[in-house]
Structure 1
Amino acid sequence: MNEKASRRHAAISRLRELFGQAPHPYRPSTQIFLDLDVEQASRNQDLAQRGAERGSSERPDANATVLDDIEHQVVESTESHKQTAHAIYLEQLHTYDARLTALNFEERFAIIRQAAPEAVGDFAAEASMGRDELFELRRRLNESEAEREDFRKRHKIARPARLSTIGKVLLKLGLLAVLFVIEVAVNGGFLSKSNQGGILGGLSVAFVFAAFNIIVSFLCGLTPIRLMYRRNIIYKAMGFFSLLAYLALAVVLNLALAHIREIPPDVLIDVDREALKRLLETPFALHEIQSWLLFGIGLVFSIIAMADGLLFFDPYIGYAGLERRWQSASARYRTAKEELIQQLRDIRNDASDAMNGAERDLAIRRSEYDALMVARGRLSQRFIEHQSQIERATNALLQVYREANRRARSTPAPAYFDRPYVLERTPIEPANRDPDERERLRRSIEEVQDLLKTQAEAVHGSFDAAVKTYREIDELFPESSYAKNQT
């Protein structure tokens, strides 16, 4: 029973040993080169047992001078590991070299040396085009201002023009609409008494008279009566006669409407002829107070409509148009100037950001280059140290085999058992591929960074010069004192 239990425990131990075995004879590590695990390798090759077996057979011979086949197997396994490590070393070197090549300094140097001066040239060209555009707009503004000032001087105008805004125009048109509606409603009520159609007939007649009264009065005030404000005596006389003609027309029109109201609806005569006859024979012979009210309301509304037309634009004909053209030219010039300066400012900022970014990129790549070179050198040093570890592991494995062999022998062990094994080192690649490469790169980076700083300063200088030339255009075409007060 005990024998069966011991066999079962031995089987479990073997299973546990199997589960606990590593898949390779290396010590777990995160390093590139894994150290040989002497104990695991010794167990895998069964060196202690094989050494004892060969020692009990007195092998190798005491006079032997070279390694026996077991020792050769140990050396071959470690040499194989060395070759694997060397392959890893070369692969890592290739990776570092590829990353160094990918930094591509020379291409960046060429692009910066070409693009940085071009950016300054493009900025200067953009500033020149903007200056030409601004000069043309300023010349047109100056011509418009000269035209307006000449007009003011010839017509002896010292006040600013009264310009109508959209709000004022809508307000005045709204006033006309209100006058029209009120006059139609009032006149329709008065005329319904004398119209056979009653209230509808009165409203139809009132609509026609109100439309004519309001529209004609507004148009008279809009154009002919405004001639009174002109300095020219002929225009002033035309405006005065236009005012008299308008007043006569307004009086006659509203008197005719009042006479129409007093004609009874049952008279079998032509109402229009009768009203015209009364207007010619006895124009002011109105017998009812409501007729006089109808006349007065129509005349007042007519005068209000005429005044609305008179004040619809600047009273002095032609002055408002010149003022609008000058303001439009001034607004276009100011807007263009602001846009051009902002555009140059954006170009300057973009160029400065690009140059600063290129400078930072070179600094980052230089740091990466230094880090890669240090890592490359560290890799070589690790490979050297790893070969030393392989040598120590090989001697440790040989020592396991030889000690077991000595203990099992009855004759002296060979003399070479006391000599350590010397691993043939694989030469490493030089840490610096070119000893002067780093210094040349440092100088090139500094030169290019100096170039970027110089060109960035040149862009800022070009911006200041361009803005100065834009101001010189204003000095070339100075504004009048009135224009300065307006702006």
Structure 2
Amino acid sequence: MQLIDKVKSVLKSDDVLPTLSVFPEIDQEKLRRDLDLDAQGEQRGKRNLPAADTKLADNVEANIISRIEALRRTGLENYENSRQIYNERLSRAGGLRKDVEFVAHNASADYLTAVRGWRAAMTGSTERLYETFQHRKDFRERHSLKRPAKRFEGWLKLGLVTVIFVGAEAALNAVMFSRGNEQGLAGGLLTALIFSAVNVIGSLMLGIAACGLNHSASARKLFGFLAFLIWVILAAALNLTVAHFRDLIDAEIGWSEAVRMAIPALQSDPFGLTSMDSWFLLAIGSLISIVAFLKGWNTFDPLPGYSRVERDLQLARAQHQEDFDEAVEELTIKREKAIDELRDADQQVRDGISQAIDALYGHSTLNSHLKSFLAQCDTKLAYLLAVYRDANISVRTEPKPPSFSISHAFPTFETAVIADESRRAAAETEADKVTAAVDAAVREIFQSFRTAVEEFALPEEVQQGQTTASVGPRSEEAA
């Protein structure tokens, strides 16, 4: 807030504080050395100067008085300048109050603008959440569903399960396919992997497609039935073909010839297997096919499309929650920053006016420091005169002059100021108005924050159609 910085700069530009820094430092020992009082006293004393009948201060004493008087005059000038600054500050109290009031109103307006900005930014996620919820509601009503959708466990897990199924079947069949293969166990493993991949992946995909049997639409039911029928045919044909191929290998038929004869053997007598290994191979392949089909059936929700509808709703909820959290976090930061700056400006103005009142009416530390400074001037002067006179008297052969018995004192400086009670009251009233304006702005900012949080509809409110427009009146009543 640039205007708050301006207010602070007005109050701090004079750099006046009611401390001893206003008055110059009087270092008596440094003055003693600079004026060379000890040597001057001895030299003039040996010459019996000033004369025994001298009644006025000599040139050394006059020099001492002049140095202290210059410092005293500087201090008094600083004091008067400070009082003038405080007087101007007090005169500016009304203007400062208006500036702070303007800042307070702007802070409230800026915060409300930020609130409205976030409401507009959340429109997209709010609408999507409402629409996806309504879509799921319609989907459930259309299919007479009351249960939640089955949660999809992820493609990674599905891929791992597929690899495990393929690897397990291939490992079990590798030895059986290696017999008669020119490449031995490696060739048998490769052949087993190919058959297992076709068996597992085909059964898995057809299991997913066969879920259409659960759909309410006739076309989807037909599609699901066809997928189930294709799986039955594929699984039976593939595993029986593999079993006949293995049977031909056991009959000492060559590998390439067994590949060519496996399908005709299946067509002529599907279950005419003569080898126990072939029946075992058929059992393993059929079991893996069934398990893969069931895994595909249960990968998503048994009702096609239900998992996707549920996932879309979850994503919409997550996006809405993310926007909500971001909005609340940013508005909270803006709120605290605005309040801190307003409170700081309020304190700056009140402190400035209070110090000005104290300074002008003699109740601040500035006046007490002035009194200490003036007393110090008298004390330092007496000390330096004593140093010079003692050094002079200690070497004189004549009596000391009457002037050495005279103590010098500066004129009294009057600090009393006739108090203008109406002006004091007006300044204090201005300070109170500043605080009242800041308090009102802080309350308005808090109210805007509270209303914003209430108007940022929660997911359950959005889902029921209670958008920010409908939540608004409820928020105003709460306010």
Q: Same fold (TM over 0.5)?
A: yes
* Residue matched to 1:324: 311
Alignment CA distance shift 1:450-1:373 (3 Å): farther
| Deviation of 1:271 (Å) | 2.4
Question: Are residue 88 (structure 1) and residue 71 (structure 2) matched?
Answer: yes
* Residue matched to 1:286: 273
**Residues 316-370 of structure 1: CA deviation (Å, up to 9, x unaligned):** 1111111111111111112212221222222222222223333444555567664
* Residue matched to 1:11: none
SS across alignment from 2:48: helix
* Residue matched to 1:64: none
**Residues 433-472 of structure 1: CA deviation (Å, up to 9, x unaligned):** 9978876654443432333233222222222222233349
| Deviation of 1:474 (Å) | 6.9
* Residue matched to 1:129: 117
Structure 1 residue aligned with 2:149, among 154, 161, 180? 161
Question: Are residue 232 (structure 1) and residue 217 (structure 2) matched?
Answer: yes
Q: How does 1:340-419 map to 2 (within 5 A)?
A: 340-362=327-349, 370=358, 371-375=364-368, 377-378=370-371, 381-382=374-375
Q: How does 1:70-469 map to 2 (within 5 A)?
A: 70-72=54-56, 74-96=57-79, 106=92, 112-166=100-154, 169-223=155-209, 225-263=210-248, 264-267=251-254, 270-362=257-349, 370=358, 371-375=364-368, 377-378=370-371, 381-382=374-375, 428=413, 442-469=428-455
State the alpha-carbon separation in 2 of the partners of residues 381 and 48 from structure 1. Answer: 34
| Deviation of 1:80 (Å) | 3.0
State the alpha-carbon separation in 1 of the partners of residues 382 and 420 from structure 2. Answer: 30
Alignment CA distance shift 1:201-1:100 (3 Å): farther
Q: TM-score, normalised on structure 2?
A: 0.73
Alignment CA distance shift 1:460-1:383 (3 Å): same
SS across alignment from 1:163: coil
| Deviation of 1:180 (Å) | 0.9
| Deviation of 1:387 (Å) | 10
Q: Is the 8 A contact 1:187 1:203 kept in 2?
A: yes
Q: Is the 8 A contact 2:133 2:463 kept in 1?
A: no
State the alpha-carbon separation in 2 of the partners of residues 117 and 365 from structure 1. Answer: 22
Q: For residue 264 of structure 2, what is the amino acid of its counterpart?
A: K
Alignment CA distance shift 1:312-1:95 (3 Å): farther
Alignment CA distance shift 1:431-1:473 (3 Å): farther
Alignment CA distance shift 1:475-1:275 (3 Å): closer
State the alpha-carbon separation in 2 of the partners of residues 238 and 479 from structure 1. Answer: 36
Q: Is the 8 A contact 2:317 2:459 kept in 1?
A: no
Q: For residue 367 of structure 2, what is the amino acid of its counterpart?
A: V
SS across alignment from 1:270: helix
**Residues 396-418 of structure 1: CA deviation (Å, up to 9, x unaligned):** 99xx89x99789xxxxx9xxx79
State the alpha-carbon separation in 2 of the partners of residues 77 and 387 from structure 1. Answer: 15
Unaligned runs of 5+ residues in structure 1 are: 1-29, 61-69, 408-412, 481-487
State the alpha-carbon separation in 2 of the partners of residues 278 and 122 from structure 1. Answer: 85
Please say which of residues 140-149 and 238-247 is displaced more in the overlay: 238-247
Alignment CA distance shift 1:201-1:463 (3 Å): closer
Unaligned runs of 5+ residues in structure 2 are: 1-23, 359-363, 467-479
| Deviation of 1:292 (Å) | 0.6
State the alpha-carbon separation in 2 of the partners of residues 477 and 373 from structure 1. Answer: 67
Pair member with larger Rg? 1
Q: For residue 339 of structure 1, what is the amino acid of its counterpart?
A: E
Q: Is the 8 A contact 1:33 1:386 kept in 2?
A: no
**Residues 274-296 of structure 1: CA deviation (Å, up to 9, x unaligned):** 11211111111101111111111
State the alpha-carbon separation in 2 of the partners of residues 137 and 203 from structure 1. Answer: 53
Q: For residue 192 of structure 2, what is the amino acid of its counterpart?
A: A
State the alpha-carbon separation in 2 of the partners of residues 246 and 391 from structure 1. Answer: 118
| Deviation of 1:297 (Å) | 0.5
State the alpha-carbon separation in 2 of the partners of residues 467 and 275 from structure 1. Answer: 73
Alignment CA distance shift 1:87-1:110 (3 Å): farther
State the alpha-carbon separation in 2 of the partners of residues 197 and 46 from structure 1. Answer: 129
SS across alignment from 2:122: helix
State the alpha-carbon separation in 2 of the partners of residues 385 and 424 from structure 1. Answer: 6
State the alpha-carbon separation in 2 of the partners of residues 217 and 391 from structure 1. Answer: 113
Count of matched residue positions in the alignment of Structure 1 and Structure 2: 421
Alignment CA distance shift 1:48-1:452 (3 Å): farther
Alignment CA distance shift 1:176-1:102 (3 Å): farther
| Deviation of 1:270 (Å) | 2.8
State the alpha-carbon separation in 2 of the partners of residues 446 and 97 from structure 1. Answer: 28
Percent identity of paired positions between Structure 1 and Structure 2: 23
- Root mean square deviation of aligned Cα: 4.4
Please say which of residues 187-196 and 301-310 is displaced more in the overlay: 187-196
| Deviation of 1:48 (Å) | 9.7
Q: For residue 470 of structure 1, what is the amino acid of its counterpart?
A: F
Q: Is the 8 A contact 1:82 1:387 kept in 2?
A: no
